[in-house]
Structures are given as C-alpha cells and as structure tokens.
Structure 1
C-alpha cells in the first residue's frame, strides 16, 4: 500500500495505482522480475503499447479509466467524446486558470501534478532514490562538470501517476537550454519498482536541460521515462525566454518522473514537504502549487 500526504486535508491517503497487481507481480515475484528484465524494461514493449494508445481503438478505455480513478474532467479542455485515442486523453490540456500560478517572484511552484519528495544538502555521490538506495548525479546526467554545480543543493523528485495531468512546466521564468537525451530502459517509476531496482533513474531513458532562471539560479531539470511511456515530448524552444508556468513538454501514456536540482542557497522548500520527505512520505501536489520560496541570505 502506498500512502501519500494530502497537504489540503493534512492527512494521509492511499494511492490508487493503475495496474497495481501487474506492477507488484513484475517487481516482487521471481517470475515477474524475469519478465521485467527480459521484456517490460525494453523499448519495444513500451513502443508497441504506446503505438496502440495512439490508435482510435484505445479510445474505448477512456471512460472506464476516468470512472475507476475519479478523474475530474470538468477542468479538461475537451469533452470525453472528443478524444481520438487514449493518448489524446492522456496528454489532455486543462482549461485556463485550472491551475492558478502565483505571480510572486519569490514563490517556487510545482512544475506539474504528482507526488513530491525533497532532499536538501545533497551529496552528489549519494542522492536518495528511495530509502536504502542511492545514485550519483553524474550517473544520472552523464556530465560531471554540470553535476558539480549542485553539490550541497536541493533535489526535488516529482513522481507522476498515470491518473495525473501529464504535461510539465517551467518552475520559474528564465531561459532554457537545449535538451540532452540519454538512452535507457523503461522500468516503472512506481515506489514498488523503486524499492526493487537500484539506481532506477540512472537506468531509464531520460532527458535533461538547464533553466537559467530569474529567481532560483540554474535549475537542472530531468524528465525520466517509464514503462509504457511512448515518448517524452519537449514542446519548448531552447534559448528563448519563458515565463513561470509555461509548458515545457509532456509524457505520453504511463507514470513518469520529473527531477529538479537547485544549487546550494537558492531555495527554501516548504516545511511540511521537508517534514514528510524526512519521514518517508510523498506529498500530493498540483501544477502551479507553491512548494518553496526564494532563499534570502
């Protein structure tokens, strides 16, 4: 059972996991682990399923998915009947103002919907993936020179579930760099898998870039693919000015993860998020929600 902290109700709630039995079998049983290594982590497996989710035949799954996971469609731009495929529904846009964004330059917002965990004063060689399992930033981005800039800084992990809004955005205004792509596998990013696969984030397909932000220094942003994620689509234009909250891109079907790294002394994360992270709980957040403030020395 996965419990997450709801910042609004100030209580813990059980996460409804899409494909929970399959994920548990795949990453916790001996036979399932063999399946994960031989088939599920392979690009072809996710590519085939992703292609199916692009077809009109997949659209029949939309209504049941919405009902089973109680997805609020009142904030979606399209009606259910207007989606041409499951992926069309999955990467749905929201109506304006569905996710309010603070104009305060001192406020750091969540770049997307999901479940957030934060680690401060990070050791570049022992960044926490999940309790007991760590990785190095150099392994993650394959660039030691860039990695060194974030020693002692802050790491924010935003895990998206298949039920979440799957577009990701800029956490601050600034100028983004080009995207660097790293090939990899397609393990699930569910906590069940994170507990089973050492250095999972460094194993999976991922893309990274740097936002030279106006208020929080150089923010290193990494998008991590996962099982059945057909693609990571970047929709921004490199080296062109962006505003806080502007769209950066989106994930096609599957649970996925965005990881942000901040240099030391650039951001103060909200106390409730830090407290829950220290106690092993993710906090449920929405795109645009305040998660921290600018560090004032």
Structure 2
C-alpha cells in the first residue's frame, strides 16, 4: 500500500468532506471567487462546452462544479440497444461479472452484492456485466442515463470516503463497495439494471433527480420510485468528483466496444457497447 493510500486511512474523511461542503456551498463573493478561479486555473478548465461561459456567472463553487452543458455539447448515441457512457471521464474497468465479482483494478475484485448492499440484487446480477467511469476533477459532473428505464428504487449506503482515483483503486481492497454510494435500480427492456454513484474523499454530496441531495446518515436509506427516464436524461450529480458504475444483468448480453477498455477517455452519451437483449419473459 502506498503512502497516499495509507494517509487516507488516518485522516478524518467525513469531517474533511463536511468542511469542504460548507466552503463549496458558500455564496460569499470572495470565497466563491477564490475557489472557482483557483480550481479552474489548476485544472485548466475551459467553459467552451458549457451554458454559462463566464466564471462570474456561478453562484457558488458547487454551482460551478455541477455546471450544465450547452444543449448541443454532447450527442447521445442512437444505436439500437446501445449502452452509452453515463458521464465524461475515464473508463476505470469494464467487463463481465464473474463469480459475483467485478474487476476493480489489476489483481483486485469486489463482490456485486456488497456493492449493491443487497444479496438478492447481487444474485440477480451474477454473470452480468459492468462499466466503471471515473470522473476526474476537471470533468463535467452530472451523471446521465446509459439506457432507457424506469427508476424503481434508490438505496443510500453509508461508508468510507477514500479517493477513487486509479492509485487508490489499485491499493484499497473493495474500494467501491466500501465507499459511500447511492444505488439506483431500474426496470428496463432486458430486466433490472443499475447505476451506482460512488462517493469519494471531499465529495460534499450526491444528488439525483428523484431524491434531491442525499442527507448523510449512519444507516442505509431506501426509497421506492416510479420515474421513467430516457437514455441521456440527467440522473444525478456529484458535488466534487467520483465514480459511476453501470451494472447490467446477464439477460442484456452486453457486448462492449473493442475500442473501449481500461483508461479510455469517454464522454457522456458515447457508445460503450450493445445490450443484445432477450425478452424478460425468456429469462423467467
């Protein structure tokens, strides 16, 4: 385990994230200006693709960090049965779920039931497929639908707040199944599917269109929904960077594109692969 990962185990993760959240939400002109300008300079952020193209147009750092794209900034791939990237970012890993395990990094796997915080759901997705997208600080930080479906349940799972970058993923066992996360479950044309929004160090919050901003608790929170969303619709957003994991059932027969692999940069709406689905009735 490297020094960066070791340090994260001993710092007060929740307190740091809470303090960062208060500063990020501040609308004080000097505070927001300092944070926004310093961040934009540090990460060389261009506003060319965004609706508001002046740093002065944002009411707080959170407002800047969750900035909205221009309507034509991202094309949603329309390939029949296509699964698209839910976010701008980097493919951390993608592939098949084998023996209930997802690949986290070379030599490290974690359990699908642990990720979803539900063994019954874990059994359902055994032998399915997944794609993990890491959102770097410079990326667009809204998460969109990788497929069309009806949101039926959200499950907030409290946890640690390790960084989710490649270094930490390679060194912390069960990283994505240990960190705070919000599991979103959907009914789709090929059965149940999921998008998991994983929190991280200094992430000040997770929000979805169905739940609003999630209030942190020490217990799992579940809520039922009946919200139909089309491919490319906004699902949620991160207040500071993190990871989105797309989970598909075996029935989807997902076939990932040959040019999409670990460390591939992707944009929201870009085709990741095809769900060569069979009807739900055939799976019963």
Deviation, structure 1 residue 235: 1.4
Give the Cα separation in 2 of the matches to 1:211 and 1:162: 28
Q: Deviations over 1:149-187 (max 9, x none)?
A: 112111110111111100001112221112101110110
Matched with 2:74 is 99
CA contact (8 A) 2:82 2:275 kept: yes
Aligned counterparts of 1:251 and 1:94: Cα–Cα separation in 2? 15
RMSD: 1.9
The secondary structure found in structure 1 opposite 2:163 is: coil
Could you tell me whether the CA contact under 8 Å between 2:93 and 2:104 is conserved in 1?
A: no
CA distance in structure 1 between the aligned counterparts of 2:266 and 2:179, rounded to whole angstroms: 24
The 8 Å contact of residues 219 and 261 in structure 1, kept in 2 or not, is answered as yes
Task: Tell me if structure 2 keeps the 8 A contact 1:36–1:187.
Answer: yes
The alpha-carbon distance between structure 1 residues 294 and 130, as it changes in their structure 2 partners (threshold 3 A), is: same
- Given that 2:90 and 2:266 are in contact with CA atoms closer than 8 Å, whether structure 1 keeps it comes out as yes
User: Is 1:217 equivalent to 2:198 in the alignment?
Assistant: no
Count of matched residue positions in the alignment of Structure 1 and Structure 2: 260
CA distance in 1, matches of 2:92, 2:171: 18
> Residues 283, 231 of structure 1: CA spacing in aligned structure 2 closer, same or farther, 3 A cutoff?
same
Q: Is the CA contact 1:236–1:247 (under 8 Å) kept in the aligned structure 2?
A: no
Conserved 8 A contact 1:124-1:137: no
User: Which of 79, 90, 96 is the matching residue for 1:121?
Assistant: 96
CA-CA distance at 1:118 after TM superposition: 4.3
Look up the match of 1:258: 244
> Please, which runs of 5 or more residues in structure 2 have no aligned partner?
212-224, 279-284
Aligned equivalents of 1:210, 1:69: Cα separation in 2: 33
Give the alignment's TM-score, normalised by structure 2: 0.85
**1:156 and 1:169 mapped to 2: Cα distance?**
14
SS of the equivalent of 1:272 reads coil
2:251 and 2:92 map into 1 onto residues whose CA distance is 18
* Of 198, 201, 204, the match for 1:230: 204
Q: Which residue of 1 aligns with 2:219?
A: none
Q: 1:199 to 1:110 in 2, by over 3 A?
A: same
Question: TM-score, normalization: structure 1?
Answer: 0.81
CA contact (8 A) 2:100 2:127 kept: no
The structure whose residues are more often strand, as a share, is: 2
> Is residue 177 of structure 1 aligned with residue 177 of structure 2?
no
Q: Return 115-124 or 137-146, whichever deviates more.
A: 115-124
Match of 1:54 among 3, 8, 25: 25
Instruction: Specify the SS of the correspondent of 1:145.
Output: helix
Q: Which position in structure 2 is the counterpart of 1:239?
A: 226
* Distance across 2 between alignment mates of 1:230 and 1:38: 19
CA contact (8 A) 1:121 1:151 kept: no
Counterparts of 1:221 and 1:181 in 2: how far apart (Å)?
Answer: 12
* Unaligned ranges ≥5, structure 1: 1-26
Structure 1 residue 201: Cα displacement: 1.0
Q: State the distance in 2 between where 1:212 and 1:261 align.
A: 12
In structure 1, how many angstroms separate the alpha carbons of the residues matched to 2:275 and 2:55? Answer: 40
Counterparts of residues 134-213 of structure 1 (less than 5 Å): 134-213=109-188
In structure 2, what is the equivalent of residue 291 of structure 1?
272
Distance in structure 1 (CA, Å) of the matches to 2:110 and 2:276: 26
Query: 1:61-80 maps to which residues of 2 (within 5 A)?
Result: 61-78=35-52, 79-80=54-55
Q: 2:10 aligns with which of 27, 35, 38?
A: 38
- Whole-Å separation in 1 of the counterparts to 2:175 and 2:119: 19
**SS at structure 1 position matched to 2:9:** helix
Secondary structure (helix, strand or coil) at the match of 1:239 reads strand
